[in-house]
Amino acid sequence: MPTTPIEFDQFLRNGVPASLVSTVSGFLDLTQGQMARLLHISSSTLRRRLNGQLRLKGAEANAMYRVLGTLGVATRVLKSDGNSRSWLKRSQPGLEGKMPVELLDTDAGADAIILLLEQIYHGVIP
């Protein structure tokens, strides 16, 4: 996996392996349909990508980057995969009662999640 912004840029330009979708959906315990919604593609398109071991490109790759980036921040702030997975799937008062995973389909939603995580990290609980 890339670790720097420039490495991620190249990773996205080359296309994100569809297998990463399965890894992330397994981590978050999401269905293919839920993952397709986060990526802004139909379930049948996602199924084709997975079955053909194709790469996500363009907007699909950027959507996956948004999800991965948010997961990374959550894991850093909450100190473990288990804590971040649990937190992302629970209603959060700082997100007007929404579950963070429900907001991962937009940049604004991801920004709201990351802002809340940064507030938690710095001890500023809204």
Domain ranges of the chain: 5-121
Decide: 68 and 3 in contact? Cβ < 8 Å: no
The whole-number pLDDT of residue 118 equals 97
The whole-number pLDDT of residue 88 equals 97
User: Residue 30 — very low, low, confident or very high, per pLDDT cuts 50/70/90?
Assistant: very high
Q: Which of 28, 43, 40, 2 is nearest to 90 (CA)?
A: 28
Distance CA(62)–CA(72), nearest Å, equals 15
Predicted TM-score (pTM) of this structure: 0.91
| DSSP-based three-state secondary structure for 17 | strand
64-98 pLDDT per residue, tens = 999 999 999 999 999 999 999 999 999 999 999 99
The whole-number pLDDT of residue 2 equals 87
User: Residue 1 — very low, low, confident or very high, per pLDDT cuts 50/70/90?
Assistant: confident
103-122 pLDDT per residue, tens = 999 999 999 999 999 999 99
Q: What percent of the chain has pLDDT over 70?
A: 100
Query: Which letter, b or e, does each residue of 32-63 get, where b requires 16 or more Cβ atoms within 10 Å of its Cβ?
Result: eebbbbbbebeeeebeebbeeeebbeeebbeb
Is pLDDT above 80 for 126? Answer: no
The whole-number pLDDT of residue 97 equals 97
The whole-number pLDDT of residue 60 equals 95
